Amino acid sequence: MAKNYLGPGQTWTWTVTGAAVAGKVYVESGRYGVADAAGVTGDVIVMHAHGSWDVPKPQSATAVWAIHAPVYITSAHVIDAVSTSNTLIGHALEAAATSATGVKVILL
């Protein structure tokens, strides 16, 4: 039977500075991850820094991906396909059209 082992650096904790939504990607001090739980200012939550995730994305022209295309996050924690001033977080596992509400991404 397969087992999933988390090694050092695969998760990290984040003290929420606003509000966090479970399953959304956040970037803080150059680190990024997927929130394990929801939280409000002062809560400490676990962030997943590795793996494949279906993350929410805006329905906009700048959030469209072909398979294997780079996926970025803005400083406002919004998933984007534009590299300028954004942080690369991974690559799309599937294509995602403008109308899609999420994108499957493998985190780097």
Instruction: Please tell me which residue, 3 or 10, carries the higher pLDDT value.
Output: 10
Instruction: Note the pLDDT of residue 7.
Output: 61
Sheet holding 87-92, edge to edge: 52-56, 102-107, 87-92, 70-73, 79-80
Instruction: Note the pLDDT of residue 5.
Output: 53
Q: Do 99 and 59 touch, CB atoms closer than 8 A?
A: yes
Q: Indicate yes or no: pTM above 0.85.
A: no
Instruction: Note the pLDDT of residue 71.
Output: 93
Q: Which amino acid makes up residue 96? A: A
Average of per-residue pLDDT across 7-18: 80
- Mean pLDDT of all residues in the chain? 86
Kindly indicate the confidence band of residue 2, based on its pLDDT and cuts at 50, 70 and 90.
Answer: very low
